[in-house]
Amino acid sequence: MELKINEGERVDDLQIRGYRIIQDPKRFCFGVDAVMLAHYAKVKPHERCLDLCTGTGIVPILMHAINSEDTSDVKYDAIELQEESVEMAKRSVELNDLTLDVHVILGDVKEAANYYDAASFQVVTVNPPYIEDNKGIKTEYEPKMIARHEIFLKLKDVISSASYCLADKGRFYMIHKPQRLAEIICLMREYKIEPKSLRFIHPYVDKEPVLVLIGGLKGGGQQMRVDAPLILYKEQGVYTDEVSKIYRI
């Protein structure tokens, strides 16, 4: 299906099942964090999945591509605050002929109760803004700043809304910065999402982690698994075998 591509936009091949996504480099393009989250999250047949802070829809679109052979009846919802990103996400959904399976709305994650019923999703995913609003160097271009900094949405808002949306024993998947892991775990437990798995992402085998994947269970028991680290590069510009397999290169 061919749709209008606006000036400055591009169509990127996701390297799986012919899926594509519309992006605008000036606004924000997805990175390794979204790809790793989409592969980390697990869905089962007949489930509903909600992606918070969806941006241009990369996580639900990529999850659909990854899982569609085994879980073709999974439905994906997604919510995003920035109107231009939502419009792009909807066009990408149409581009991939996914309008029956992926539904993107304009909305504020803090106000999830205005859009969704409580306990209505079995899976919630999120790649949220990482940087506290009073910290870090801010870019001048607002869409990128909103995506990276907690200007309109705090970590507590993300986790409380995820908890509201998750059914009992529903699964929560997030990617974030390791520096905030203690805060993340405390907030997850405060909102009854028990941390169940962690996986640190390192740029190289001898470097500190730059990202962490977190899995949680709504109303789960107290036992957590720490998986082997995910290493991105063998050397500069050369992915490890695991990452090459994820990217299908």
Q: Give the HSE-up count for residue 223: Cα atoms under 13 Å, Cβ half-sphere.
A: 1
Residue 152 confidence (pLDDT) above 80: no
Percent of the chain scoring above 70 in pLDDT = 91
d(C-alpha 147, C-alpha 102), whole Å: 21
Residue for token digits 């109303």?
219
89: domain range?
10-171+180-192
Residue 21 confidence (pLDDT) above 60: yes
Structure-model confidence comparison of residues 29 and 138, the more confident one: 29
Instruction: State the pTM of this model.
Output: 0.92
Domain-embedded: residue 202: no
pLDDT at 147: 56
pLDDT at 248: 87
Domain-embedded: residue 213: no
Domain-embedded: residue 69: yes
d(C-alpha 240, C-alpha 159), whole Å: 32
- How confident is the prediction for the chain on average, in pLDDT? 91
Domain-embedded: residue 102: yes
> How many structural domains does the chain have?
1
Q: How many residues does the chain have?
A: 249
pLDDT at 78: 98
d(C-alpha 67, C-alpha 73), whole Å: 10
Domain-embedded: residue 100: yes
Domain-embedded: residue 50: yes
CA 203 to chain centre: 19
Domain-embedded: residue 235: no
Domain-embedded: residue 5: no
Structure tokens at 181: 């892991």
Q: What is the CATH number of the domain that holds 85?
A: 3.40.50.150
Lowest mean pLDDT segment, chosen from 93-97, 132-136, 226-230: 132-136
pLDDT at 153: 85
DSSP 8-state symbol, 96: T
Q: Give the HSE-up count for residue 151: Cα atoms under 13 Å, Cβ half-sphere.
A: 13
- At 130, the pLDDT band (50, 70, 90 cuts) reads confident
Residue 193 confidence (pLDDT) above 90: yes
Residue 137 confidence (pLDDT) above 80: no
Q: Give the HSE-up count for residue 4: Cα atoms under 13 Å, Cβ half-sphere.
A: 3
Residue 146 confidence (pLDDT) above 70: no
